[in-house]
Amino acid sequence: MISFELTTEQKRAELHFVRLAKKKFYPLSLKIDSQAPGPIDPAYLAILVDEDLNALLVPEEYGGRPLDFVTLSLVMEGLGYGCAGFASLYCVTMHAVSALLIGGSHEQKAAYLPLLLGHRGGLAGCCITEEKGGSDTTRFATTANADGDNYIINGTKSPVLNAGYAAFYVVWANTGTGRGRGDINAFIVPGDAQGISIGPYHDKPGLRCAPTATVSFTNVKVHKSDMIGPPGSGYPLLVQSLDGARSLFSAICVGVAKAAFDMTTSFAKQRAIRNKPIIRNQGIGFSLADQATDICAGRLLVWRVCRMMDRNVHYTKEASMAKLFASRMASRIAGEGMLMMGQVAHTNPNLMAKFQRDAQALRLIEGTDHIQQMIISSEL
């Protein structure tokens, strides 16, 4: 029997992140969101260290204090409540860490995971998408050609979150003729490896607090021991680590939806027309009732997939269901918030407008709605 009650520790974490959102994230995120594209704001890096967030991703034997995935989803939701951009930086770090945890050797974990801990508070990046490839993860133009005991990586990945700030990148590349999935492999590449260059930061409508850039690899040399898993592992490793990342990005979507909902509800209780709060109008009240119900449903989908991750059972379809539902929901609730708050939400800088733009961007990250639908339908 599954309990849907949060533990005392989980409730405390939930409250902590709501407070953090109001005290730190909301003022900071509005400022960063309105700036020109650029590096990650130092204040965000400081929060990462102060909250010791990376420790929650790393196993104890490598210096961390990991959470189960259900509790981690509450952390992601809380961060998403504060700023979806910050939460995305953190979630991508989790994606890179999970690739190492799934397929990496003890030596690889011991060498790289501690780089994320303590005062260093490093981030990690995943280099998957290529400009010409889009969502096609079965073919990569980026190559890793064997050269004695080394591989030489050449290619360009874009967009990459945490570009320029990653202590290490997990890079998916093609080691053979480029005509089969067996040629796809993943490598750990130190962030300061010779031959890596970071392109200009991308200007984008959503997730502006999570800078993305192009990362180019020019004759980047890595040792063969930097390959994650045995030769040919890259494709199943990508599939599994993407499923995990999708599940946690779904939690961020729930956080954004909840932030938009709380703001709209608060507004609807305070704004009165003819001495009656507008929430008493059925057009507003019923819509908020639907939103509250959707948020509950989204949360349960996230908890279900995270519980499956904790039990180490197969969760591809469930991860895509959670991502599809939660990202659409966040986009819809923020959009309705814009409508209900009217003129108040249409003056910059404005959090509700940021929620809406961030929610729309979240529908693309780790696979668009259509990709999630393709995955779900393939498993029916």
Partner 1 sequence: MNAYEKIGRKLQEAREEAGLSQEELARKIGCTQASLSNYELGKRRLYLADLQRIGQLLGKQITYFLDDPGEREPDYPDQIQQVLEGQYLREILFEAKELPSSQRKSVLDYIRWQKDEGSKK
Out of 195, 236, 285, 335, the only residue in the binding site for partner 1 (CB under 8 A) is 236
CB 220 within 8 A of CB 268: no
Considering only residues 139 to 198 of the shown chain, the ones binding partner 1 according to CB under 8 A are 177, 179-184
Considering only residues 73 to 112 of the shown chain, the ones binding partner 1 according to CB under 8 A are 102-103
Q: Using CB atoms within 10 A of its CB, is residue 378 exposed (0-12), middle (13-18) or buried (19+)? A: exposed
What's the closest the beta carbon of residue 231 comes to partner 1, in angstroms?
Answer: 6
Does position 272 interact with partner 1 (CB under 8 A)? The reply is: no
Residue 77 CA: distances (Å) to CA of 20, 146, 290, 292, 301? 12, 42, 20, 15, 13
Size of the site for partner 1 (CB under 8 A): 26
Q: How many other C-beta atoms can be found within 10 angstroms of the C-beta atom of residue 263?
A: 20
Complex with partner 1: residue 39 or 178, whichever CB lies closer: 178
| Coil, strand or helix at 127 | strand
Does position 240 interact with partner 1 (CB under 8 A)? The reply is: yes
What's the closest the beta carbon of residue 380 comes to partner 1, in angstroms?
Answer: 8
What's the closest the beta carbon of residue 136 comes to partner 1, in angstroms?
Answer: 10
Complex with partner 1: residue 169 or 235, whichever CB lies closer: 235
Give the separation between CA 195 and CA 87, rounded to whole angstroms. Answer: 29
Q: How far is CA 179 from the centre of its chain?
A: 30
Complex with partner 1: residue 153 or 309, whichever CB lies closer: 309
Complex with partner 1: residue 157 or 317, whichever CB lies closer: 317
Q: Which window, 46-54, 195-203, 216-224, 226-234, contacts partner 1 (CB under 8 A)?
A: 226-234
Instruction: Find all residues with CB under 8 Å of 256, minimum gap 6, and list them.
Output: 80, 81, 84, 330, 334, 355, 358, 359, 362
Give the separation between CA 126 and CA 96, rounded to whole angstroms. Answer: 6
Q: Which window, 122-130, 237-245, 274-282, 284-292, contacts partner 1 (CB under 8 A)?
A: 237-245
Give the separation between CA 148 and CA 111, rounded to whole angstroms. Answer: 22
Complex with partner 1: residue 33 or 243, whichever CB lies closer: 243
Q: What share of the chain is helix, strand, coil (3-state, %, to 5)?
A: 60, 15, 25
Q: How far is CA 169 from the centre of its chain?
A: 15
Does position 239 interact with partner 1 (CB under 8 A)? The reply is: yes
Does position 237 interact with partner 1 (CB under 8 A)? The reply is: yes
Out of 61, 68, 290, 379, the only residue in the binding site for partner 1 (CB under 8 A) is 379
Considering only residues 309 to 338 of the shown chain, the ones binding partner 1 according to CB under 8 A are 314, 316
Give, as one character, the DSSP assignment of residue 21.
I
Complex with partner 1: residue 39 or 180, whichever CB lies closer: 180
Dihedral sign of CA atoms 267, 269, 271, 277 in order? positive
What's the closest the beta carbon of residue 246 comes to partner 1, in angstroms?
Answer: 12
**Paired strand residues for 312:** none
Considering only residues 112 to 131 of the shown chain, the ones binding partner 1 according to CB under 8 A are none
Give the separation between CA 262 and CA 332, rounded to whole angstroms. Answer: 14
Q: Which window, 32-40, 73-81, 115-123, 236-244, contacts partner 1 (CB under 8 A)?
A: 236-244
Q: Using CB atoms within 10 A of its CB, is residue 139 exposed (0-12), middle (13-18) or buried (19+)? A: middle
Complex with partner 1: residue 88 or 233, whichever CB lies closer: 233
Complex with partner 1: residue 137 or 356, whichever CB lies closer: 137
Complex with partner 1: residue 141 or 193, whichever CB lies closer: 141
Does position 232 interact with partner 1 (CB under 8 A)? The reply is: yes
Complex with partner 1: residue 122 or 244, whichever CB lies closer: 244
Instruction: Find all residues with CB under 8 Å of 33, minimum gap 6, and list them.
Output: 85, 208, 209, 349, 354
Binding residues for partner 1, rule: CB under 8 A, are 102-103, 138, 177, 179-184, 229-233, 235-237, 239-240, 243, 314, 316, 378-380
